């Protein structure tokens, strides 16, 4: 199964028709091509050491250019992926230890922090504007009251002056000699 580029579990899960026609990339590449091209495999495959050596020797004998063997390649099935394979892939990609998931989590946290910060700043600015409006209104009301109090103080002083004059006149009428 090493040269098959799929796991034994995946191969076992294939139906009989697929198992009957399935050929690994390495074996498929050894067969003559209809357009007479003898090119190395293009794609992501993983070969066992034995299979890789045989393929490299066969390619080298048929080509003028020596093909370098590639190793540590990802395992890919030539058939459409099964739901189980897709599920396994998603489980691996979305696991807590997955770098993609960690990066996604950090990105989401940064986005949430930015949104919260933006909302707090917006709420703070709205509160600040409302407080400024209320303070300005109270300051204007206070100025109006101050003007009214000053007017009343003047009226009181005027009334006190008039009262004093009236008292003097009543104590010292104009016909009396003391007044003049």
Q: Per-residue pLDDT tens for 33-89?
A: 665 555 555 444 444 444 444 444 554 455 454 445 555 555 555 667 788 888 888
pTM: 0.35
Percent with pLDDT over 70 in the chain? 61
Task: Name 19's Cβ contacts closer than 8 Å, sequence gap at least 6.
Answer: 11
pLDDT in tens, 118-135: 999 999 999 999 999 999
Domain boundaries, the chain: 2-79, 112-171
Tell me how far CA of residue 114 lies from CA of 96, 104, 107, 121, 159, in angstroms.
23, 15, 10, 10, 67
Chain mean pLDDT for the chain = 75
């Amino acid at each position: 199964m090493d040269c098959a580029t799929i796991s034994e579990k995946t191969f076992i899960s294939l139906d009989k028709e697929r198992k009957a026609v399935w050929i690994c990339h390495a074996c498929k590449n050894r067969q003559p091509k209809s357009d007479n091209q003898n090119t190395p495999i293009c794609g992501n495959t993983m070969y066992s050491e034995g299979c890789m050596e045989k393929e490299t020797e066969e390619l080298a004998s048929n080509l003028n250019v020596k093909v370098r063997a590639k190793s540590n390649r990802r395992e890919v099935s030539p058939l459409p992926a099964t739901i189980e394979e897709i599920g396994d892939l998603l489980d691996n990609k979305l696991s807590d230890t997955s770098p993609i998931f960690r990066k996604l989590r950090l990105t989401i946290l940064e986005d949430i922090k930015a949104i919260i910060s933006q909302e707090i700043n917006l709420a703070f600015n709205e509160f600040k504007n409302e407080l400024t409006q209320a303070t300005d209104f109270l300051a204007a009301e206070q100025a109006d009251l101050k003007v009214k109090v000053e007017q009343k103080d003047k009226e009181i002083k005027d009334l006190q002056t008039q009262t004093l004059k009236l008292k003097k006149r009543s104590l010292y009428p104009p016909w009396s000699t003391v007044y003049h």
